[in-house]
Amino acid sequence: MNNRIAVTLLILLLFSAFTPSSSQAQDLSDGNRKIVAKVMPLYPDVLRSMNIQGTVRANVVVTSDGKVKSVAVKGGHPLLVQSAENALRQWKWAPAGHESSETVEMIFKP
């Protein structure tokens, strides 16, 4: 049991050590389809200068040809939501034989 905890902690430590940190928004997707084109959201300078940060979580419905059909924001800082949504509407996923729902998180850190 202690070995399992130690391995889990090591994996988390390695993951956090290699997670990029920048003044731009970062994104995480837990969907199965490959993202082929991302547009990073604009991080408004005024929000960055005020140290406004947060995560925006959205469900994106993707058509079979990889285009965004709809974006439904599920949570996040109200001042960052529009920027995240605008960027997500421009993303492209790999084609698939069916429509899919992808969950994406965009992390805004100054």
Q: How many CA atoms lie within 13 A of 22 on its CB side?
A: 10
Stronger pLDDT, 53 or 8, i.e. the higher one: 53
57's tokens:
């979580």
Q: What's the whole-number mean pLDDT along residues 6-35?
A: 47
Q: What's the whole-number mean pLDDT along residues 24-30?
A: 51
Report residue 1's pLDDT band, with 50, 70 and 90 as the boundaries.
low
Q: What's the whole-number mean pLDDT along residues 81-103?
A: 95
- Domains defined along the chain, listed by start: 22-108 (3.30.2420.10)
pLDDT at 46 over 80: yes
